[in-house]
Chain A
C-alpha cells in the first residue's frame, strides 16, 4: 500500500488556493495533473511565482526541478506578473504577410515596449502569439482577451491608449 503523503499547507489564506487545490484533487493529486494545475494557478493568480511552484511540487509529490522545467518549457506559462492590460499581436503567417511587424513596431515606438516586456508603470504587457486562428481577419491582435481583426498601426495604438 502506498503511503499517503501529507499535503502541504496552502502558501497563504487567499481563497484562490482552494481552486488550485480543487484541480489537483479532481486528478487524484497525480503527477500527470501538473500542466492542468499550473494552468489553474495561472488562471487564478495571473502568473506562476516561486511559492506557487513549490506548493504545486509538494502537493503532487514531484521534484521542484521538474515543475520548474515544465513551467519554463511551455510558452503560455508566465513566471513574472503581467501588466494590467495585455496586448497580444498575432505573428502567424497570415498576419505576418499582412503586416503584423508594423503593428509591433508601432506599439514599441509609442509605448516603448518590445514583445515579452511590460511598461515600467505596469500598465501594458506586449506579447506575440503563434497564430490565434483569426487568419481570415489578418492582421489580428488580442487586447485583454478580445480579438480585433484587420488592424492598422493607428487602430491599435488608439485602442491601447483608450485603456485605463
Chain B
C-alpha cells in the first residue's frame, strides 16, 4: 500500500460519514465514565433514535477538563474540542435538550465556554485526535489521517532516514528522563543482533499522573503506529506494551486496537502490504511502581520479580532476553507519527532551544480546572497554573506545585515564572517527570507532603539494594518524628545526611530520586521543618 492508496481509503471512510453534518461526542474516557458518562451516552443515543436527524452520536476519548465531566460536545464533523459547543456536568435527563439543539441554538444552562484559556491556550499534537475520534474505531483513526506516517516511512524512507527524522525533531523521552529519543533509536539500530524488541512503557506509576492512560484510552492506534515506525527504524519485529493492570479500560481499548490493526494489515507479517513484519503483545503489570524503571520492566515482562539491575549494559545493547531493546514511553511513541508526517524540522520549531515539541500535563490538586492539557515546552508554570488551570479555587493562594511525582520536587510560588522544560526544572531541584502536576494551596503541610512521598518510596522499594531498602525506612522514620513534632535538630541533620547517601548510592532511579521531595521541601520550606522541631539537642 502506498500513501495515495491510504489517502483514498481515508477519503472513503470520510465519505461514509458525510451524510452527517454534526456529531454529538460523548467523552467515554475513564474519568468521565466515573462521573456517569455511560448512562448519558445511552440517553443521547436513545433520544437520537427517537428524533432521527442528521447527526451522529459517538463515544470519544478525553476532552481534557475532567473536573467538569461528563462532557458532551456538539461539533461539526472534523471540528476540534475548542471549536465545538461543549456541555459540562451532563445528566441523562439533558439528552433531549442537547439533541434538540444540534444545528440550532445551544443549551445555555449546560454550556462550558471553549474560548476560556483552558482550551484556547493549548496546542495539541499528541492529543490531536483525543476527544474527536472514537478510540475503538480503526476507520475513525484512518479517516483522521492515521497510519499515513507508517505508510510513508515504509514506502518512502529508509530506516536510517526515519532515525534521522527523529534526531532532527529533537524529541526527548517523555517518561521523565528526557534522554534524546533519536539517539536511543540510533544506538539500537546499529546493533547487529538480528533479534530486537520494541517496548512501550505504559506503567504510569507516578501518583497524580494520568497522561498515558488518557492517550491509550483516547487514541490507542497512535501508540501502535509510533511503535511500528520505531520497529521499522531499528529492525525489530516484535513489540510489547507493558501496561498497569490498574488501567482496565486502557488495556481493553489497546487490545481492541491491536486486533483491528492486525485484521486490517497494519500489524502482522506483512505490514501495509510490505515485507516488514511487526507483532505487538500486551503485558500487564501487577502493581509495582519500580517496574516503571526500564530494567525492572524488562524483568517483569520476562515473568520475574520486577527488580532493576545495574546499567550499563543499557537495554539498547542488552535488553529483553539479552537482545537489544528500545524502550520508550507512551507519549514519546505518540509523538512519532506527527514527526514523520510533518517532518522533524516542524516538530523542532515548537518549544524551547533544548526541549522541543509539546508536553501533556495532568493538572490535579487544589486547582479550578483539573484535567489534561497539552502546551508547548517553555510555557511558564504560572501560565499553566493560574491561566490555563484557573488558579486555586476559593481565593486561596497557591503555595507550591509538585512535579515529577515521588522522584520530583516542589516549585514554590515565587518561582512559578519559570518556563517548563527539562533543564529549567532541574535547576530548581525538581524534574519534568512524566507530567503530573499537583497544585498545593497554603493549607498544605510540606513536611507531611515529604513524608507522604517517602512512605510511597519506602513501600515501593523493591528491596534489592541496601541504601534504598533501609534508607527509605530510616528517612521515613525521621520524617514521621519531625512531622509529629517529636524530632530534634539532630534528626534533621541525620535526615539530610541520609538523603545524600541514598541519592548517591542507590542502584536505580527509584532510590536515587527518593530523597528529592525531602531535599526540595527543605530547600524552599525549611522553616516549616524547623518550627516542628522539639526542644532538645
Chain B, residue nearest A76 (CB):
B287
Max count, chain A CB within 10 A of own CB: residue among B287, B405, B460: B287
Find chain A residues with CB under 8 A from B31 CB. Answer: 133-134, 136-137, 149
Chain A interface residue number, banded:
35 or more
Known: A130-B287, A136-B66. A70 touches B452 (CB 8 A): no
Q: Does B288 lie within 8 Å of A73, measured CB to CB?
A: yes
Q: Does B208 lie within 8 Å of A93, measured CB to CB?
A: yes
- Residues 59-97 (chain A) with a chain B CB within 8 angstroms: 66, 69-70, 73-77, 91-94, 96-97
Q: Does A36 lie within 8 Å of B284, measured CB to CB?
A: yes
User: B207 contacts which of A35, A73, A91, A146 (Cβ < 8 Å)?
Assistant: A91
Q: Roughly how many angstroms separate A94 CA and B437 CA in the complex, as a whole number?
A: 9
B262 at the interface (CB under 8 A from A): no
Q: Does A74 lie within 8 Å of B286, measured CB to CB?
A: yes
Chain B, residue nearest A145 (CB):
B248
A104 at the interface (CB under 8 A from B): no
A98 at the interface (CB under 8 A from B): yes
Known: A147-B30, A149-B34. A131 touches B303 (CB 8 A): no
Q: Does A75 lie within 8 Å of B287, measured CB to CB?
A: yes
Q: Roughly how many angstroms separate A99 CA and B453 CA in the complex, as a whole number?
A: 15
Find chain A residues with CB under 8 A from B440 CB. Answer: 97
- Residues 292-332 (chain B) with a chain A CB within 8 angstroms: 300-306
Chain B interface residue number, banded:
35 or more
Q: Does A135 lie within 8 Å of B210, measured CB to CB?
A: yes
Q: Does B444 lie within 8 Å of A97, measured CB to CB?
A: yes
Chain B, residue nearest A147 (CB):
B34
Known: A33-B303, A97-B438, A137-B67. A76 touches B286 (CB 8 A): yes
Q: Roughly how many angstroms separate A83 CA and B215 CA in the complex, as a whole number?
A: 34
A20 at the interface (CB under 8 A from B): no
Known: A76-B245, A130-B205. A136 touches B287 (CB 8 A): no
Q: Does A39 lie within 8 Å of B286, measured CB to CB?
A: yes
Q: Mark A148-160, 1 if CB is under 8 A from B, else 0.
A: 1100000000000
B421 at the interface (CB under 8 A from A): no
User: B288 contacts which of A74, A137, A147, A149 (Cβ < 8 Å)?
Assistant: A74
Find chain B residues with CB under 8 A from A131 CB. Answer: 205-210, 246
B35 at the interface (CB under 8 A from A): yes
Find chain A residues with CB under 8 A from B205 CB. Answer: 130-131
Q: Roughly how many angstroms separate A140 CA and B34 CA in the complex, as a whole number?
A: 9
Q: Mark A120-146, 1 if CB is under 8 A from B, else 0.
A: 000000000111111111101000001
- Residues 31-65 (chain A) with a chain B CB within 8 angstroms: 31-36, 38-39
Q: Least Cβ distance of B98 to chain A in Å?
A: 22
Known: A39-B284, A147-B30. A130 touches B289 (CB 8 A): yes
B524 at the interface (CB under 8 A from A): no
Find chain B residues with CB under 8 A from A97 CB. Answer: 365-366, 438, 440, 444
User: A135 contacts which of B283, B288, B364 (Cβ < 8 Å)?
Assistant: B364
30 inter-chain pairs at a CB distance below 8 angstroms, sorted by A residue, are A32-B301, A36-B284, A69-B305, A73-B306, A74-B285, A74-B286, A91-B207, A92-B207, A92-B208, A93-B207, A93-B208, A93-B438, A93-B453, A94-B365, A96-B207, A129-B246, A130-B205, A131-B210, A131-B246, A133-B31, A133-B247, A134-B31, A135-B209, A135-B362, A135-B370, A136-B210, A137-B66, A138-B364, A147-B34, A149-B34
